[in-house]
Amino acid sequence: MGREHHYFVAVRWTGNTGTGTSGYRDYGRGHEISADGKPTIGASSHAAFRGDRARWNPEELLIAALSSCHQLAYLHLCAVAGIVVVEYEDHAEGWMAEAQDGANQFTHVLLHPRVTVATGADKTRALQLHHEAHAKCFIARSVKFPVEHEAEILSS
């Protein structure tokens, strides 16, 4: 392998309601995610697991990381290929299966990138670059479930 990158994130539980984890229903799932120089993210567990719907949950953050990584790899590849992207949005979704023993896991994630390229750009090549972006996305390469994409390419 080549160079190694090291990341630091702090997670601090904020859900102690006065009795700690004395019982399953006796504590909040709220926590804060922070990193130096960045805004703090208010997080919780998913509402199905007694979490706060108004806060980001780990499942959403994982899907967001996959979508963001794909986007960044794709934009890089387009820039190198001379394809001018003028808009990019994704409405990603993920599926998690609940196991009886509580060891839940994601079964798959589906990205829906909708990309607008400059007039005259090679839309066929722009679509192909999604496959290359997927192969280069280090987050997708690091998970053990399938990450697929259904891309749409539009002209400006």
Instruction: List domains and CATH numbers for the chain.
Output: 10-49 (no CATH), 58-155 (3.30.300.20)
Give the integer Cα–Cα distance in Å for 155 and 58: 35
H helix or E strand, kind and range, residue 143:
none
- Give this prediction's pTM: 0.89
Judge contact between 12 and 34, C-beta under 8 A: yes
Question: Splitting the chain (156 residues) into consecutive groups of 10 residues, what average pLDDT does each group show?
Answer: 88 90 89 94 90 92 96 96 96 94 92 96 97 95 95 94
| Residue-level pLDDT at 95 | 96
> Euclidean distance between the first and final Cα of the chain, in Å?
40
